[in-house]
Amino acid sequence: MQIPALPTFESERLIELEELQLSHEPDANYDVITRLASSICNAPIALITIIDSEKQYFKSKIGTDICDTDRDISFCSHAILNPREITIVNDARKDPRFMNNPLTKEETPVIFYVGVPLLTKKGNPLGTLCVIDSKPRTLTDSQIASLRDLASQVENLFELRRNNLKLLEIELLLQKKNEQLRKFAGTVSHDMKMPLANMIVTTDILRAKYAPLFDTQGNNYLSYLKQSSFSLSDYIDNLLSYYESEEQSIEKAEAFELQDLLEELIDLLNINEDYIINLPENPFELVTNKSAVNQILLNLITNSLKYNDKETGIINIKCTQDHAYYYIQVSDNGKGIPKDKQESIFDLFSTATEADNKGKKGNGIGLSTVRNLVQSLGGIISVSSEEGKGATFDFTIKKVSS
């Protein structure tokens, strides 16, 4: 028996193997390949072997209960020394490399062996796809070609895993960066609230105490300063709401009446007589995150009020359900949303119109917040609209499993 030498590329091979993070756990994707290899080659044993620094273990196995073997007696350790070739051993008892190998003397001995090295993109062999029999035999050219094809599929699975690991690493990095950004935005926003409040109060004091000393332009400057401070304060509030919406969860569920929630919102908004709001006709109970639903509806109703150009604004709110979801619709007869803006309306900082009824330009955060909240409740949101005829927002909320 010959103990297999270490390949000249051993260190690089082991680095690639470690990067792949292959577990010893069974995997159905690999088991399909060993079953096919066993069937095509009419071999009682088929293995996908992985060779680490000391052991050979089996990522997938058919026809044996053994989980691993020492590398020194492994047939596959010889096979990876010639990574571009198939190792074929018709009778291990007559091959100088395997004479008196303990594996040839087992109760089910390894007599016939064919191993195809499994290569990385760099050409390093990590193990083999092999078939084994306990008696001398040969394979046809067709069987050998099929074994090569199956080995290439194992290599594809390795590469897919490598790419998935890279994507996971990128995803984790993005999550970390996003969390840092969220904390930064929250901290900056909170720190700006007090100076802004001071600016607004100071503007009012200047106007009350010194207005007669200013000319018209000076008083206009004070008005611009106060208006800009309020706009920035509103922007900060919306930004905070956006990041806080990512912390909402469907798990924070409670039972509440939708009509009661809507009536409270209408009272809060202090809507004048120029608007008609039609609520759902029948009582409707929801079991979900009440705070999230409140913020979703507050944003949608507020938008319907701010961007309505009709003499009498009409807002219709409907709700239905099935076994899995609640379906809520908020529609109005307002300005509507241009068709070229409807796909991007939920993107952060995207706005559909230049200004609302009071001439204030939106900051494009509100509907992004709405989408985040809807997604946190396991649902989706969509919009349909025709300019001049209003907009309809439909969103779903996944029911909480009892």
Domains and CATH numbers, the chain: 10-168 (3.30.450.40), 250-398 (3.30.565.10)
Q: How far apart are CA 249 and CA 232, in angstroms?
A: 28
Residue 261: Cβ-neighbour burial (10 angstroms; 0-12, 13-18, 19+): middle
Residues 6+ apart with CB under 8 A from 397: 250, 286, 288, 293, 325, 326, 328, 374, 377, 378, 379
pLDDT single digits (tens) 294-348: 888 988 988 888 888 888 889 999 999 999 999 999 999 988 888 888 788 887 6
- pTM of this prediction exceeds 0.75: no
Cα-Cα-Cα-Cα dihedral of 163, 166, 168, 172, to 10°?
Answer: -170
* Residue pLDDT, tens place only, 257-287: 999 988 888 887 777 777 888 888 888 899 9
Tell me which H or E stretch contains 70. strand 68-70
Buried b (16+ CB within 10 A) or exposed e, 318-346: bbeeeeebbebebbbbbbbbeeebbeebb
Share of the chain above pLDDT 70, in %: 87
Is pLDDT at 193 greater than 60 in this prediction? yes
Share of the chain above pLDDT 90, in %: 45
To which residue do tokens 């809807």 refer?
374
CB-based contacts of 79, cutoff 8 Å, min separation 6: 87, 115, 116, 117, 125, 128, 130
Q: With residue 77 as reference, give the H or E element that holds it.
A: helix 75-79
Confidence of residue 240 (pLDDT cuts 50, 70, 90): low
Is it the case that residue 55 has pLDDT exceeding 80?
yes
Average pLDDT along the chain? 86
pLDDT band at 369 (very low <50, low <70, confident <90, very high): confident
Q: What is the pLDDT of residue 361?
A: 61
